[in-house]
Amino acid sequence: MSVADSQRRVCLQLLAQLRPHWRRDPALPDRIQRLLAANRHFGGRDRRLYRELIYTTLRFLPWIEPLLDHEDEEAVRRLAWLAADTPDTQAFRQAFAMGEAPTGDRAQLLPAWFEGHCPEVFAGSELEAQCRRAPLWVRLQTADANAVFNELVSLGCRLRRSAALPDAVEVQGKADLTATVAWRAGRFEVQDLGSQMVLGSVGVEPGGRWLDACAGAGGKSLQLARLLGPTGRVDAHDIRPAALTELRSRAARARLDHIHPCSRLDAAGYDGVLVDAPCSGSGTWRRAPHLKWITSEALVARKAEIQRVLLRRLAALVRPSGRLVYATCSLSRRENQDVLAAFLAEHPQFHRAPFADTFGFDPQGAGLTIWPARHDSDGYFVASLRRA
């Protein structure tokens, strides 16, 4: 059996194993990782090839899935055309990308119900962006950028510094970033550009005490701590102990001793509160295409209710003249503009705080949508408020 035939056979086997799960498993990326790691015959290049083919399938599922039962040759041909052109996929593409490139209505590659939530991603450059995998971005945590750049370039990485945020750098390459000296020394963190723009847009003033109320593993807590400077303080809260454990490790690596993970909130209040709310994650569909097929309108409605409750509760912790920042990695207006409008109607003591930077996007009142296509990022929504 030729190498190409073997790759074709293994690809179809992997897809058959994953097919029962890709419309129901929120943790599908973990399942994919375990599946690829379990095959001791795979080398690094094999795993990168099959990971790309699997994620291409998920990204273009309506164009691939119907062919898997009776037309697997055509499914493989389409995959070869649609997969990213990398050194790892080159041989597969040369063997199977025959005939004409597949075409069709790309709006079919998004859930039809989502058009009522975000019509903007169903046309033009935003629709095209949804068909491409998102790049890897890091955020510099050092003034000595050259030390980071020199090490990454020596490992074969290609770097592109963002024109929007000087500390944001796109990294292309196969290097394990977590094995680098620069990462171990806390000189950079992996953080999507759109995520970095959330705090970059609102103009955090140095000093003061802030609460990161839904901190998770602390990506925005680390960025917030750097923006506040050593005279500031970040209380990082999350209901998941494991997330706070990882946050402590990241803060220690970055040498940021003014981040304080906490399980209880200070009733005395804060100069600023960041509510990076749990959401449907529709802004991350480029990076996590499986979410397109497990997200429903009912899930969005449940998340929106949680978001409304969180905003009401956490707004009480904002001191007079303090800041309230609401953010999601969703593009659904139900979780963004609708939640914000309901909150402002119930809380007249909060008003719009001007954005420090809109990165070329058009604010709508107190809200700003960070669209993926313009800067090649994930999608986010951020609202900038101040208490009277």
Q: How far apart are CA 253 and CA 191, in angstroms?
A: 15
Asked if 151 and 142 count as a contact pair (C-beta separation under 8 A), the reply is no
Q: At 266, is the secondary structure helix, strand, or coil?
A: coil
- Residue identified by tokens 């795993």 is 47
- Looking at the DSSP bridge assignments, the partners of residue 276 are 327
- Residue identified by tokens 């986010």 is 380
Asked if 256 and 226 count as a contact pair (C-beta separation under 8 A), the reply is yes
The answer to whether residue 329 is catalytic is yes
22: closest CA among 299, 281, 288? 288
Q: Concatenated DSSP letters for 307-373?
A: HHHHHHHHHTTEEEEEEEEEEES---TTTTHHHHHHHHHH-TTEEE---S--TT---BTTEEEE-HH
Q: Burial, 303: exposed, middle or buried (Cβ in 10 Å; 0-12, 13-18, 19+)?
A: buried
Catalytic machinery residues: 329
